[in-house]
Amino acid sequence: MSDFLPEARALLGEANVLTVDLAAYATDWRGKFTGVPLAVLRPADTAQVAATVKLCAIHGVAIVPQGGNTGMCGGATPDGSGQQVVLSLSRLNRVRNIDPLNNTMTVEAGCVLQTLQELATEHDRLFPLSLGAEGSCQIGGNIATNAGGVQVLRYGNTRDLVLGLEVVLADGQVLNLLRALRKDNTGYDLKHLFIGSEGTLGIVTAAVLKLFPAPHASAVAFAAFQTPQQALQLLGLMRGALGDRFTAFELMSDASLGLVRQYFPATPALFAETHPWHVLMQATDPGADDGAQVALDTSFQAALEQALETGVIDDVVVATSVAQAEELWAVRENISEAQQHDGHNIKHDIAVPVSSVAAFIEEVQPLLHAAYTGVRPVVYGHLGDGNLHFNVSRPPGWSTPDWQGESDRVNAIVLDVVARLQGSFSAEHGLGQLKKHEMALYKTPLEIEVMRRVKQALDPQGLMNPGKLLPV
C-alpha cells in the first residue's frame, strides 16, 4: 500500500491524485453518508482509467466510482476505513461522435446530462433523459443507476436509451461494446449487466446513446382532482387521445405542493381552491410546422374537456406560453429541493404496476397514520410508469435523529405493501448503501445468489465499489 499513491501520481500526475480537501467527494448529496477516502483519483481518459484500475488490482485497493455525486442512496460514497479510493470520471467529458442520421451520439461517462441534452438540440434531436439533477449529474452515473426521470412514459429508463458501452473491467481490461446498432443478436447482451450495476461489476467510461427527433410542438397542463384513482382514469384518457405524443404524467399530492409553496414563495397559485391531488402532464410532437402545434393543442384540449365534463378532474390550467409551461414544470422540479430544506425524511423510490398505484396509496397511508399521529406523507412521482417517490416527513414533535431511527419500521409498513402488489422497493435511484439490506428482505434467495455469481465472476477480488447493492 505504501507504494500505491506514488505510483498513482506517476500515472495520473500530482494534480490528479487528491489527498486533502476531499469533503465534496466523501459525502453524498443528501448528507446521509460520509466516508474517508484514501485519495481521489482523476483519470483523463479510458486508457488512464484502465491503468488506474489495474494498479488498484495489483495493490488490492478498493475503488468507488463517482460521477456528479448526485445520487440518493450513497452508492458513490466511500466507507470510513480510509482504504478506498474515489475514482472520479469528471475529466472523461468528451463527445466522441454524433450521428443525426443514425440518431445516436457516443459520449464519455463524465459528460453532464444537460450538456448532452443541449448538444442533441443543436442537431435538431432529443436526448430524452430528464432529471432534477440534470445540470450536474453525469451520464456515467445515470447509466450506473439506470436513472429514470420524467419522460420514461414515452422513452423508457436509461437502459432503454443505451445502445452500446465501453467498460473497464476489474482487472483493467477494456470491454468495448460501443456498437451503434439497434439489432445485434450475437449472444448475450453484455451491456445490460453493467447498466444499473452501480459500478460493482466494472466502470462505464463511454456509451452510445439513442437520440430522437426533436419536439417542436408541445402542450403542458396542470390538473387537480380528488383521488389517485381519478389520476389513473385521466392517464388512460390522455394516452388514448394522444398515443405516443403523450410524454409525461407527474402525480403530486397537495402536501408536496405545500412544501414547494413554503420554500419557494414565488410559486404561483394555480387554483382558487385546494385539491388533494394534482398531475402535471405534457404532450409533444416533432412536427415543425404550425399545423403540428394546432393538431396537438386540439387533441390535448379536447381530452381535457372530456375529463372535466365526466368529472375525472375538478380543474385544469393549460400553459399558453413557453414561459408558463416552464413555470408549471418548476413546481414539480422544486419538490425534491423543498424537501431537502424541510429536513430529513424517510424516502422511498418504489414502483408498482400502474394499475395498482391507487390501491398502494389508499392502503399505505392509513397504515402510516395509524402508526404515527400527524405523520406527513409527501407523495409525488412518475405515475405513467408506476414509480412514486413516497417520502414520509417527521410528525410534529419528532426530532430528526429520532425520526430517522424509525426508518426500519416505516420502511416495513411501506415496502410490505409494495411487495404484496408485486412491486419494487427501488425504481430509479439504485440501492447503494441505503437499500442493499432490503435485497435480502424482498428478493428471492436464488435471485441474490445469481447476482453474487455474476459479481464473483467479474470482480473476484471484490474491489469494485464494495459494500454497495448486494446485501452482506
Task: Report pLDDT digits (tens) over 324-376.
Answer: 999 999 999 999 889 888 877 899 999 999 999 999 999 999 999 999 999 98
- Are 49 and 108 in the same domain? no
pLDDT tens-digit series, residues 124-162: 999 999 988 899 999 999 999 999 989 999 999 999 999
Cβ proximity of 388 and 380 under 8 Å: yes
Specify the pairing of strand 62-66 against strand 84-88.
parallel
CATH number at residue 11: 3.30.43.10
Per residue of the chain (472 residues), what is the pLDDT tens digit?
Answer: 679 999 999 999 999 999 999 999 999 988 889 999 999 999 999 999 999 999 999 999 999 999 999 998 999 999 999 999 999 999 999 999 999 999 999 999 999 999 999 999 999 999 999 988 899 999 999 999 999 989 999 999 999 999 999 999 999 999 999 999 999 999 999 999 999 999 999 999 999 999 999 999 999 999 999 999 999 999 999 999 999 999 999 999 999 999 999 999 999 889 999 999 999 999 999 988 889 999 999 999 999 999 999 999 999 999 999 999 999 999 999 998 898 888 778 999 999 999 999 999 999 999 999 999 999 899 999 999 999 999 999 899 899 889 999 999 999 999 999 999 999 999 998 999 989 999 999 999 999 999 999 999 999 999 999 999 999 8
Q: Which residues contact 244 (CB under 8 A, 6 or more apart)?
A: 154
Cβ proximity of 22 and 65 under 8 Å: no
CATH number at residue 415: 3.30.70.2740
Block residue for cell numbers 384540449: 301
Cβ proximity of 212 and 220 under 8 Å: no
- Are 52 and 116 in the same domain? no
pTM of structure = 0.93
Taking the CB of residue 40, how many other CB atoms lie within 10 A of it?
A: 22
Of 84, 48, 63, the C-alpha closest to 205 is 48
Side chain identity, residue 22: L
Cβ proximity of 34 and 75 under 8 Å: no
Cβ proximity of 394 and 407 under 8 Å: no
- Are 202 and 262 in the same domain? no
Provide the b/e sequence for 296-324 (b: ≥16 CB within 10 Å): bbebbeebbebbeeeebbbebbbbeeeee
Last residue of some domain: 282, 311, 335? 335
Count of domains in the chain?
Answer: 4
CATH number at residue 188: 3.30.465.10
Last residue of some domain: 162, 179, 213? 213
- Reading the block at residue 455, the C-alpha cell is 459479481
Its domain, for residue 363, covers 343-430
CATH number at residue 327: 3.30.70.2190
